[in-house]
């Protein structure tokens, strides 16, 4: 088992034989041309049933529409045409489906609002069978939370991937679209199985050469392998492409030559790919060009694309990740303020096919952030929430960090806009402010590695993302249990252990990285991997801890700080304004506190840091023995691979622990009440070893090294 089958292994559940009688062995596909999602649905269903129910090629796909003992897969239109109105259908809308077992006729109906819906229905039916669920009384309608369920790959044209943890690109090589797109097609199938309907194939920091005619033909080939799975191809575009690539003297979004350049590019794209999803745009951010260059507004920047795409039903995902580098010595400067400051003035000015894509927190995928206040501010604009499946700041797939609990924190957060219930999930679904478009997008970064994301266990995050984008009400526990059963089988011990490890993993990572909302404390400037707390201060990127010898944390209050807490609706703003009402886990995000300040838990800030780090590293160490307890219950290939990663995580969590506690001990000079910090009886310090060709030196300014010493 090399992981390539992901959760689509279709292994038989223990009660497979009991399910047999409810699953007919004839499948009728209504209205499926060979490249259509309904056709894929039929093939998938046959393959899945054969495997899950041990049927040796006994299931057939037929065009003979019998009345009984048949599985019928198709759209509602075609179904009623062929079978008439059977009376119990419900109204089906966009991508939804209806699943029913008809006990008297012994038929299974898998009926979609559209072709994609039918395919999603098949995947749901196969999920239920693979889980061994009771399918004898099935009668459900399932509809997605919102129409935007996208993934964003950060693949570069050269074939590498920004934040690459699972091998090179499945789409690009040497500046072109790869000849062999087999994996791209398989990826689309995996995406479709969790209801994802669009994939942006190239990096948000886009390369304009993607728009060359030959690359557009290449993109059309990717779209061809996506199409049977109902996944629409989308692309990131370089705002300056008219100049960088088109040879114009400007890329001013309101300049008529620029407008017509984009119009004709969009036409060329849609001629090659008539069902393209749309554009993802990162503008005026981290060196990317944007409308600001010409003093145009963000709305003008987004709308030029919206207008070009509208005739083709294309969508513009415009990222809210826009900020300027800041002057660190300015105590009021705060990158967290940027998104609201940039976007608020233009609420209501974006076209209807623009969706502002907002990261879950106001900074950048840190181990803990509060909910982005922008979700409560843009009431006349479509919005989607961006999360990162790629564990960029969270151990880069070398650490187990199960992310749905982190995402759910934002999805379930109630912003209380106008003192009315305003959970983020109801805002992005469009319900709260009555918007037509909305949903979720995730940065995914799968690559050529057989495990897709570079680690078997990391796949629970991709699976969990799909499940939440479809239904944000699903619980993290229910998602991980399903994923384990589908990925590793039904052994109770396997389920319990992997569930425990997964549910403990984000708290563990938070414990041994950055606590109390101080952010991840990883290397901020370059790798985003491993401890490097000193890089958070003293640079213009604004992921600051404001650490000094008395304390740490950002004062983001309105009264004395950067004013960030004032970006929330009044009730939430009031809660974060003072330490007294701020929950401990965000204490240092909102307040600058002395090391000796007592938290609500009763511990001091510094002792909390010490304890949390020891606790987190201990949990990571436990993962090794927990995983080892599954020896013999999981195939050797995956068992060994995961074991290696867990051993690495256990070791690296000690590096994290010692580095961070030393750092704050060196700053504060306050000893650990348990006497652990600074004492490493088991450790041989590098500087006390016999050195040939190296010399010890005192690290300055403060570093995380013990005794302030490193070797050079
Ligand atoms: C940062 C990544 C950078 C991305 C950026 C983004 O380090 O590579 O380009 O986010 O989201 O976290 O655009």
Give the Cα separation of 304 and 482 in Å (integer). 43
**How many angstroms does the Cα of residue 443 sit away from the middle of ligand 1?**
10
Nearest Cα to 108, choosing from 29, 10, 12, 11? 29
Residue 87's pLDDT is what? 61
Please write the tens of the pLDDT for every residue from 287-312.
999 999 999 999 999 999 999 999 99
**Alpha helix stretches (DSSP H) within 356-419:** 374-377, 404-411
Residue 709's pLDDT is what? 83
Question: Ligand 1: which residue has its CA nearest to atom 12?
Answer: 364
Question: Ligand 1: which residue has its CA nearest to atom 1?
Answer: 364
Beta carbons within 10 angstroms of residue 692's beta carbon: 5
Where in the sequence numbering do the catalytic residues fall? 286, 364, 392
- The DSSP string of 459-502 is HHHHHHHHHHHH-TTS-HHHHHHHHHHHHH-S-HHHHHHHHHHH
Q: Please calculate the CA angle 27-31-32 and round it to the nearest 5 degrees.
A: 75
**How many angstroms does the Cα of residue 283 sit away from the middle of ligand 1?**
12
Residue 538's pLDDT is what? 85
Q: Please calculate the CA angle 301-307-308 and round it to the nearest 5 degrees.
A: 100
Question: Does position 706 have pLDDT exceeding 80, yes or no?
Answer: no
**How many angstroms does the Cα of residue 67 sit away from the middle of ligand 1?**
55
Mutate which of 286, 335, 369, 525 for ligand 1 pocket (most atoms within 8 A of beta carbon): 286
- Domains in the chain (CATH in brackets) are 16-142 (3.30.379.10), 148-488 (3.20.20.80), 533-668 (3.90.1330.10)
Question: Does position 230 have pLDDT exceeding 90, yes or no?
Answer: yes
Percent of the chain scored above 70 by pLDDT?
A: 99
The values of phi and psi at residue 352, to 5°, are -70, -20
Question: Do residues 48 and 5 touch, judged by C-beta distance below 8 A?
Answer: no
Percent of the chain scored above 90 by pLDDT?
A: 88
Q: Is the pTM of this model over 0.90?
A: yes
- The DSSP string of 372-383 is PTHHHH-SSSEE
Give the Cα separation of 300 and 350 in Å (integer). 8
Q: Which atom of ligand 1 is nearest to the CA of 203?
A: 9
Report yes or no for ipTM above 0.95.
Answer: yes
Please write the tens of the pLDDT for every residue from 370-415.
999 999 999 999 999 999 999 999 999 999 999 999 999 999 999 9
What residues flank ligand 1, with Cβ below 6 Å?
162-163, 204-205, 282, 286, 321, 364-365, 392
H/E element holding 49? helix 37-52
Question: Does position 90 have pLDDT exceeding 70, yes or no?
Answer: no
**How many angstroms does the Cα of residue 476 sit away from the middle of ligand 1?**
26
Averaged pLDDT for residues 442-463:
98
Beta strands at 97-102 and 60-62: parallel, antiparallel or unpaired: unpaired
């Amino acid at each position: 088992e090399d992981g390539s089958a992901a959760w689509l292994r279709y292994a038989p559940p223990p009660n497979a034989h009991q399910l047999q009688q409810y699953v007919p062995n004839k499948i009728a596909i209504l209205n499926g041309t060979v490249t259509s999602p309904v056709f894929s649905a039929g093939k998938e269903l046959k393959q899945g049933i054969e495997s899950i129910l041990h049927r040796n090629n006994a299931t057939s796909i037929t065009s003979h529409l019998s009345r009984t003992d048949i599985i019928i897969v198709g759209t509602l239109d075609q179904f009623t045409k062929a079978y008439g109105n059977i009376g119990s259908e419900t109204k089906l809308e966009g991508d939804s489906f209806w699943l029913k077992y008809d006990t008297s006729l012994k038929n299974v109906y898998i009926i979609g609002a559209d072709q994609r819906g039918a395919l999603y229905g098949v995947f749901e039916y196969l999920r239920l069978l693979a889980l061994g669920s009771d399918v004898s009384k099935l009668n459900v309608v399932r509809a997605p939370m919102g129409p935007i369920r996208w993934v964003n790959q950060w693949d570069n044209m050269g074939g590498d991937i920004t934040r690459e943890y699972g091998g090179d690109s499945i789409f690009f090589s040497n500046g072109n679209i790869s000849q062999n797109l087999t994996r791209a097609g398989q990826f689309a199938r995996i995406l479709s199985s969790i209801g994802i309907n669009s994939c942006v194939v190239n990096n948000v920091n886009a390369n304009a050469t993607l728009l060359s005619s030959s690359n557009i033909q290449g993109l059309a080939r990717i779209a061809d392998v996506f199409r049977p799975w109902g996944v629409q191809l989308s692309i990131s575009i370089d705002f300056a492409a008219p100049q960088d690539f088109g040879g114009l003297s400007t890329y001013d979004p309101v300049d008529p030559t620029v407008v017509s350049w984009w119009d004709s590019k969009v036409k060329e794209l849609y001629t090659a790919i008539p069902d393209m999803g749309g554009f993802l745009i990162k503008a005026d951010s981290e060196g990317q060009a944007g409308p600001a260059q010409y003093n145009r507004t963000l709305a003008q920047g987004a709308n030029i694309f919206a207008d070009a795409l509208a005739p083709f039903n294309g969508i513009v995902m415009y990222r809210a990740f826009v900020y300027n580098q800041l002057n660190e010595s300015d105590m009021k400067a705060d990158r967290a303020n940027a998104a609201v400051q940039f976007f608020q003035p233009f609420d209501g000015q974006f076209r209807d096919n623009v969706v502002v894509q907002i990261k879950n927190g106001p900074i950048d995928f840190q181990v803990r952030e509060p909910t982005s206040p922008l979700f409560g501010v843009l009431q006349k604009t479509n919005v989607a929430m961006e999360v990162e499946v790629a564990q960029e700041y969270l151990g880069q797939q070398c650490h187990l960090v199960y992310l749905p609990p982190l995402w759910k924190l934002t999805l379930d957060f109630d912003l209380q806009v106008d003192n009315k219930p305003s959970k983020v999930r109801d805002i992005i679904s469009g319900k709260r402010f009555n918007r037509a478009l909305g949903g979720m997008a995730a940065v995914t970064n799968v690559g050529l590695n057989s495990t897709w994301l570079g680690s078997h266990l990391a796949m629970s995050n991709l699976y969990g993302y799909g499940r939440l984008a479809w239904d944000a009400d699903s619980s993290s526990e229910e998602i991980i249990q399903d994923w384990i059963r589908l990925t590793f089988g039904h052994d109770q011990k396997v389920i319990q252990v992997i569930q425990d490890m997964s549910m403990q993993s984000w708290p563990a990572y938070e414990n041994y990285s950055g606590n109390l909302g101080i952010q991840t404390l990883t290397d901020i400037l370059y790798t985003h991997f491993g401890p490097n707390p000193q890089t958070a201060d003293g640079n213009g990127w604004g992921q600051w801890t404001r650490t000094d010898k008395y304390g740490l944390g950002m004062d983001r209050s309105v009264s004395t700080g950067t004013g960030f807490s004032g970006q929330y609706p009044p009730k939430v703003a009031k809660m974060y304004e003072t330490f007294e009402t701020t929950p401990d886990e965000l204490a240092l995000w909102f307040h600058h506190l002395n090391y000796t300040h007592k938290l609500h838990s009763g511990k001091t800030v510094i002792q909390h840091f010490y304890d949390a780090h020891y606790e987190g590293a201990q949990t990571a160490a436990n993962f090794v023995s927990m995983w080892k307890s599954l020896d013999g219950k999981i195939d050797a290939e995956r068992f060994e691979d995961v074991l290696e990663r867990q051993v690495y995580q256990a070791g690296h969590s000690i590096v994290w622990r010692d580095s961070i506690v030393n750092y704050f001990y060196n700053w504060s000079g306050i000893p650990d009440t348990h006497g652990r910090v600074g004492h490493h009886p088991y450790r041989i310090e590098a500087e006390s070893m016999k050195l040939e060709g190296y010399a010890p030196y005192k690290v300055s300014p403060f570093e995380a090294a013990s005794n302030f010493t490193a070797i050079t």
